[in-house]
Amino acid sequence: MQAGKGAMASAKETAANIAASAQSGMEKTKATVQGKAEKMTAHGPAEKEMAEERKQQMIEQAELNKQQAREQHAAEKERARVGGVPAGEVVGSNPIGTATGTGRTTAAHNPLTGGTQPAGRHTGGGYT
């Protein structure tokens, strides 16, 4: 890892978290103002209670969004730290010479050996 790479990822994460907190704060303020307006125009205690519940749901959703954003930023920082591979990801491998994905069983997968190619396009003899 390069010396400045981790610091840059950390700074990006911090900036992104600050932005997420600011966004959350704006959403919470909007919910509060909207809730107060709904309470003022409500007709009766039931409507006021519904307005309060909606306000609380909006505030909780804003907080949840902020926490999810922080988790995503931490994961992005970790991916940058390890060179683009997400933390905990298991990368599978196959032994050499297996699972090549061609589905062919010709000798050495050489398309120019044997076969039905026109003259001059192969070695002249086929493997048997």
Does 14 reside within a domain?
yes
Does 111 reside within a domain?
no
What is the number of structural domains in the chain?
A: 1
Does 43 reside within a domain?
yes
**Long-range CB contacts (< 8 A, 24+ apart) of 63-66?**
63/24, 63/28, 65/20, 65/23, 65/24, 65/27, 66/20, 66/21, 66/23, 66/24
pLDDT in tens, 23-54: 999 999 999 999 999 999 999 999 999 999 99
Does 114 reside within a domain?
no
pLDDT in tens, 104-124: 554 555 555 555 555 555 555
- Domain range for 35 is 3-81
